[in-house]
Structure 1
Amino acid sequence: MSIQSLYQQKKTSAADAVRQVQNGDTIVVPTGVGEPPALLTALSEQRRDFRGVEVVQILPLRKYGYFDPETAEHVRHTAYFYGGASRPGGQEGWIDFIPNYFSEIPALIKRDLIPANVVFSMASPMDEHGYFSLSLGADYTMAAVGKARAIVLEVNPNVPFANGDCHVHISQVAALVESDEPVLEVGLPKIGPVQEAIGKYVAELIPNGATLQIGYGGIPDAVVMQLTDKHDLGVHTEMVGDGIMTLVEAGVVTNRKKNYHPGKMLATFALGSKKLYQFMHRNPALEMHPVDFTNDPYLAGQNDNLHAINATMQIDLLGQCGSESLGFKPYSGTGGQADFVRAANRSNGGKAFIVLPSTAKENSISRIVPTLSAGTHVTTSKNDINYVVTEYGVAQLRGKSAKQRAAALIGIAHPDFRGELREAAKKMNLA
């Protein structure tokens, strides 16, 4: 049978495609904009027909009907990482989460520690060889493709066909639906003077020829904006976004100085604008790979001069970072922060930056604290931390004693809180 005949045979409506799901199944959905809206809407509409179905995902972006505590016994969401749609349920307790390092989710799936019965994913149109590209989220989804009983694709002409290890053949697909809705666009975060000041400190420490990992957020994007005078930067990251695309268009990112996969940008998911998705389409300089390749600290750390930039919400005087919860209340997840901090620490010439404004709630709360708030989930440990940057400067902590760390962090705290931090440090024998 020809690939076109196979395609037509497997094409169906979203309502019918959802019937590939059985009671008790776990459905794996890609990160962010890789989520298939037609399929997940159909699942929501039919959710009361199922029992014990679980949808697992990093960073859901739309609040589908199954985000509903009253029907959680039918279809429930379980988070690898909370987003705006799942955060309220996580904080209220009717959405659960699986602690993880982003780089290790594929291994958890392959070893059957996390089930993967069905895959729902956005996909590019099929090429002449019968392949679809899961370009928007190769992440853990490719591992699930290898384990799932049923792979169901939402094929959309607005999804780019990217290079890399992100392809599924028509013979692997149980059902597919067609959609031509625009891929969800995610705008750049707001950048103010605090973010600009932090970005300036970080940019000054990034040399020409460095390889970048850039997380999502206002501060990482503020760093990107101040790199336009650099030369021959490379990219090995988890997320490709508009900031990286802007540096490529400015001629700043060439990937020529990379010693690991020279000439290529590597990423595992995309989050940005329509222009970004068009930029990704058959771009020979970009490859999308599973997250156990992009985020593995050993592999990513083979890049010399790897500079990793990630944000946190709170840091204590020993350097422990709480980047994913507000006390015991979950807010996001570990994601790839710990992966890339460790990768940059391994890298010859690498630097791992943790960035944060010095205060929160209109300067009423210090984000640099004696000890993390009770119940805070520690994301980056005191043993892994290196550079910490606020709008007041840079504290380099790796190799420093506990007392030296406390002094350095107090030195970049907001001036209004330095006195009480010094007093707390004395009481903790850190001064």
Structure 2
Amino acid sequence: MSVIGKIIPNRNIGKLGAALQTIKSNTYFTYTQSLSQPLDRKPEFVTAKDAFERTLKSGQTVYAQGAAATPVPLLDAMTEVGKAGSMKDIKVVHMHTEKEAAYCAPECKDIFRSCSLFMAANVRKSVAEGRSDVIPIFLQDIPKLFHRKIIKPDIAVIQVSPPDQHGYCSLGTSVDCVRAAIVNCKTIIAQVNTHMPRTFGDAIIHMSHIDYAVEDNTPLPEHGVGKALTPEETKIGQIIGDNLVEDGATLQMGIGSIPDAVLSALKNHKDLGIHSEMFSVGVVDLVRRGCVTNNMKKTHKGRIVASFVVGNKELYDFLDNNPFVEMMEVDYVNNTHIISLLPCMTAINSCMEVDLTGQVVSDSIGTRMYSGFGGQTDFIRGAAESVDGRGKPIIAIVSQTKKGESKIVPILKPGAGVVTTRAHVNYVVTEQGIANLFGKTLRQRAYELIRVAHPDHRESLEKAAFERLKCMPAP
């Protein structure tokens, strides 16, 4: 079944590669779904450019790991090789990636085409100009794309920690859909980085599953470092912390300033748990204060559960070799049924705009795509279905933009996409207060939302509500 052969070692491979110069190879057909099972082979240590010169061809599909684990040096090398070889029609599939996406540059238009499963700022321009694609999808469903062969990667480009004494590396800060991609791909190219924290759960991968390894110790990308909270964000965090987060609650937080503001308001809470597709550095302080214990959970008791993280060095140092955190695949972490079983599940997510009936736009600004579905709907519904009846699905939003435009609107912008429907939504929180929309009629919803809109816009919103509903909003 396997093709066994001797690989000539590269003599310019560094100390880590030199330790692995007795190398065997086999074909991907002998791979196992279990990335923790050691195989009778070792990776070949090469330069980044060499790895792609050996593997990259026109018409292929490349999967790239994302968030803080984005293997930027490898993706830059891929771009150079694709351009130098005058290649065509290479699809690059990924979730949110950090730093500049060189393969999305205008000069790469016919060589590479990015396909985002959740967009970041580095691809928005190319998507808007028609040079890149986006797939609207719930985060929990992304692994199905690989397992069902809807997306079939030829190459997976990942970043791992150095192997331990048993040959095990870690996917570190990003597990999410990575395992689904790499067990279904033909060739794995890995950046081996001493800065990548060693994490547990579904993060482990034995070195023998990697085909080409590249030593590169570039520090991990940092995100949102040094950004101060606005008074409005701080107020929202305080409102949620004081009124909607109970002691013993399990928390999910999306990315952004408002979830960070909520975390900063929980310093007097007890026995909180974390089960979230991602978390940021604000959780670290709560762990150190003893606020986050995860002791109320029935599963993963005493453990934080997440699928990826993005933040700063303090966060990455906290993760490193820390069994208090379990990094799991996103089809488990974001599974609506799993979420519903957690005690007092409290899901806190942000959005772009909310209309007077409660429709929530989170992935686009009008027709312009901005991000993606992510885990918002997974957790909003999971919290709503909470089996203990104490779940709290929360949409949090600053009441107006920096330009003074209301984010609670009479009707959505033309082309805007609804991520959380009016039937999914429960709590909408602004710095003005809390609107509970569950079980409310349209005119009651309008009343509640106008009450938490910015005072400068309440009169115009009330008039717009009357024109739309043909009756006045009422409690």
Q: Which residue of 2 aligns with 1:367?
A: 407
CA offset at residue 96 of structure 1? 1.3
Bigger CA drift: 288-297 or 29-38? 29-38
**1-structure distance, mates of 2:92, 2:63:** 6
Q: Which residue of 2 aligns with 1:276?
A: 315
Confirm whether residue 202 of structure 1 aligns to residue 240 of structure 2. yes
Confirm whether residue 399 of structure 1 aligns to residue 439 of structure 2. yes
Residue aligned with 1:33, SS: coil
Residue aligned with 2:103, SS: coil
Residue aligned with 2:354, SS: strand
**2-structure distance, mates of 1:232, 1:304:** 11
CA offset at residue 428 of structure 1? 1.6
Residue aligned with 2:102, SS: coil
Q: Which residue of 2 aligns with 1:239?
A: 278
Confirm whether residue 376 of structure 1 aligns to residue 413 of structure 2. no
Superposition pairs for residues 34-113 of structure 1, below 5 Å?
34-48=69-83, 49=85, 50-113=87-150
**2-structure distance, mates of 1:265, 1:5:** 39
Unaligned 5+ segments in structure 2 are 1-5, 7-18, 24-40
Q: Which has the larger radius of gyration?
A: 2
C-alpha distance after superposition, 1:7-38 (max 9, x if no partner): 87511110111132332221111221211122
CA offset at residue 64 of structure 1? 3.3
Confirm whether residue 23 of structure 1 aligns to residue 58 of structure 2. yes
1:130 to 147, 167, 181: 167
Q: Which residue of 1 aligns with 2:231?
A: 193
Question: Cα gap change, 1:21/1:301 in structure 2, threshold over 3 Å: closer, same or farther?
Answer: farther
Identical-residue share of aligned pairs (%): 37
User: 2:56 touches 2:82 (CA, 8 Å); kept in 1?
Assistant: no
Q: Partner letter of residue 11 of structure 1? A: F
CA offset at residue 41 of structure 1? 1.2
CA offset at residue 65 of structure 1? 2.3
CA offset at residue 3 of structure 1? 7.1
1:32 to 58, 67, 79: 67
User: 2:170 touches 2:198 (CA, 8 Å); kept in 1?
Assistant: yes
| Superposition RMSD in Å | 1.6
Q: Partner letter of residue 142 of structure 1? A: R
Q: Which residue of 1 aligns with 2:358?
A: 319
Superposition pairs for residues 124-163 of structure 1, below 5 Å?
124-163=161-200
**1-structure distance, mates of 2:22, 2:73:** 23
Residue aligned with 1:122, SS: strand
CA offset at residue 424 of structure 1? 1.2
Question: Cα gap change, 1:269/1:427 in structure 2, threshold over 3 Å: closer, same or farther?
Answer: same
**2-structure distance, mates of 1:149, 1:218:** 39
**2-structure distance, mates of 1:354, 1:4:** 54
| TM-score (structure 2 length as normaliser) | 0.88
Q: Which residue of 2 aligns with 1:10?
A: 44
Question: Cα gap change, 1:148/1:360 in structure 2, threshold over 3 Å: closer, same or farther?
Answer: same
User: 1:314 touches 1:323 (CA, 8 Å); kept in 2?
Assistant: yes
**1-structure distance, mates of 2:22, 2:205:** 17
C-alpha distance after superposition, 1:301-333 (max 9, x if no partner): 210201111101100111111111110001111
CA offset at residue 80 of structure 1? 1.2
Between the two proteins, the alignment pairs up a number of residues equal to: 430
Bigger CA drift: 165-174 or 352-361? 165-174
Residue aligned with 1:5, SS: coil
Q: Which residue of 1 aligns with 2:453?
A: 413
Residue aligned with 2:77, SS: helix
**1-structure distance, mates of 2:152, 2:431:** 43
User: 2:42 touches 2:211 (CA, 8 Å); kept in 1?
Assistant: no
CA offset at residue 46 of structure 1? 1.4
CA offset at residue 190 of structure 1? 3.1
Residue aligned with 2:117, SS: strand
Q: Which residue of 2 aligns with 1:288?
A: 327
Q: Which residue of 1 aligns with 2:399?
A: 358
**1-structure distance, mates of 2:47, 2:20:** 19
C-alpha distance after superposition, 1:380-418 (max 9, x if no partner): 111110110001000011121222111100110111111
**1-structure distance, mates of 2:194, 2:106:** 34
CA offset at residue 116 of structure 1? 2.2
User: 2:359 touches 2:421 (CA, 8 Å); kept in 1?
Assistant: yes
CA offset at residue 70 of structure 1? 2.6
